Amino acid sequence: MRALITGITGQDGSYLADFLLDKGYEVYGMVRRASTETFGRIEHIRDRINLVQADLLDQLSIINLVEDVKPDEIYNLAAQSFVPTSWNQPVLTGEFDALGVTKILEAIRFLNKKIKFYQASSSEMFGKVRQIPQTEETPFYPRSPYGVAKAYGHFITINYRESYGIHASSGILFNHESPRRGLEFVTRKITDGAARIKLGLADKLHLGNLDAERDWGFAGDYVKAMWLMVQKEKPDTYVVASGQAHSVRNFVQEAFGHLNLDYLEYVVTDPKLMRPAEVDHLLGNASKAKRELGWEPKVDFKKLVQMMVDADMERLRAEKK
């Protein structure tokens, strides 16, 4: 089996590549041209994967890529994924996260409708939540240009499934984190910040809204759900979540507590880090994924926080040396 992953240099792309290689897949990764390579997360598997250049902004580059690689499965993980950036660059976010999806689906429609497709949809589509917990049936109310663009990507995936019979699935994934998470996302910012404070490399950590609640899981568990969806006889939409919500404050307490630090001495709230429209509370119900895919997360909240803090401590200790 041959898989093509867009966004292979990102958090999820790297875990999915690890997972598919273990399953015996031939793995191709789409990367965009940059003046400096951003291959840190896939360094350990660099000689076992094939990297090919294309960009979500360029339709012909995607058609050529799919024609050359001839994948059995495409996992579309590439996106402008940072919510605050989507207010500063809403058009670019729409180009990548909304129209980019159509470009890949068009390549499939044009070249080979048998290619199976996975779209990385997001719990940010629920935004100002209409129901608690959120399921596949909960209406969307996105609160950022990112959430709006992802809603387009989600519906165009369903539309190509229904219009052309393409095996196109959409996973509505709730926040998932890991030691490979980008440093600007709140979990990694906290674990990196706490580790820096512990090692005497920083004395304060500036954060925004500590009351926001998220349903956090481990990225390594969540990429398995993507693969399970693609293996199903029929394409569908699935919520993937842990079923537990925690506030940013809980995450901070757990991370600092793991290092025997009192967060109240170090955390400063900064109004500049508040969002123009916040998603206050997300909580997913993944019972359909459990029932139909046999998917369940293995890493709970406490283990996730500890894994991330320990990894940042190890990395920063080595850097300090």
Count, residues near ligand F7E per rule CB under 6 A: 22
191 belongs to the binding site for ligand F7E (CB under 6 A): no
Residues of span 181-220 touching ligand NAP by CB under 6 A? 182
193 belongs to the binding site for ligand F7E (CB under 6 A): no
CA distances from 293 to 151, 153, 168, 179 (A): 23, 22, 16, 26
Contacts of 235 (CB under 8 A, 6+ apart): 116, 117, 161, 166, 167, 168, 169, 229
Nearer to ligand NAP, 120 or 205 (CB): 120
Q: Looking at the DSSP assignment, which residues form a beta bridge with residue 74?
A: 4, 117
* Residue among 41, 40, 33 nearest 16 (CA): 41
**Among residues 28, 118, 146, 266, which one is catalytic?**
146
| Conformational region of residue 105, where left means phi above 0, alpha means psi within -120 to 50, and beta covers everything else | alpha
Sign of CA dihedral 184, 190, 192, 198: positive
228 belongs to the binding site for ligand F7E (CB under 6 A): no
Interatomic CA distance for residues 165 and 185, integer angstroms:
37
Interatomic CA distance for residues 140 and 129, integer angstroms:
7
**Among residues 75, 123, 124, 238, which one is catalytic?**
124
185 belongs to the binding site for ligand F7E (CB under 6 A): yes
Active-site annotation holds for 124: yes
Question: 19 is written with which tokens?
Answer: 């997972």
The stretch near ligand F7E (CB under 6 A) out of 27-35, 99-107, 185-193, 303-311 is 185-193
Choose the contact partner of 39 out of ligand F7E, ligand NAP, none; CB within 5 to 8 A by kind.
none
Contacts of 179 (CB under 8 A, 6+ apart): 307, 308, 311, 312
277, containing H or E segment = none
Give the nearest distance from C-beta 173 to ligand NAP in angstroms.
4
288 belongs to the binding site for ligand NAP (CB under 6 A): no
Q: Looking at the DSSP assignment, which residues form a beta bridge with residue 51?
A: 29
Question: 206 is written with which tokens?
Answer: 């500036």
124 belongs to the binding site for ligand F7E (CB under 6 A): yes
Active-site annotation holds for 292: no
The stretch near ligand NAP (CB under 6 A) out of 172-180, 225-233, 242-250, 305-313 is 172-180
84 belongs to the binding site for ligand NAP (CB under 6 A): no
55 belongs to the binding site for ligand NAP (CB under 6 A): yes
Site string for ligand NAP, 17-46 (x = CB under 6 A): ---------------x-x---x--------
176 belongs to the binding site for ligand NAP (CB under 6 A): yes
CA distances from 132 to 150, 211, 300 (A): 20, 17, 20
| Alpha carbon 53 to its chain's center | 21
Residue choice 128, 249, 275, 290 for contact with ligand F7E (CB under 6 A): 275
Asked whether the bond before 142 is cis by omega within 30 degrees of 0, the reply is no
301: number of Cβ within 10 Å: 18
Sign of CA dihedral 168, 174, 177, 183: positive
Give the nearest distance from C-beta 177 to ligand F7E in angstroms.
8
Residue choice 43, 68, 184, 296 for contact with ligand F7E (CB under 6 A): 184
122 belongs to the binding site for ligand F7E (CB under 6 A): yes
- Residues making contact with ligand NAP (CB under 6 A): 6-7, 9-13, 32, 34, 38, 55-57, 77-81, 96, 120, 122, 173, 175-176, 182
Residues annotated as catalytic are 122, 124, 146
- Residues making contact with ligand F7E (CB under 6 A): 81, 83, 122-124, 174-175, 184-187, 189, 207-209, 212, 214, 248, 273, 275, 278-279
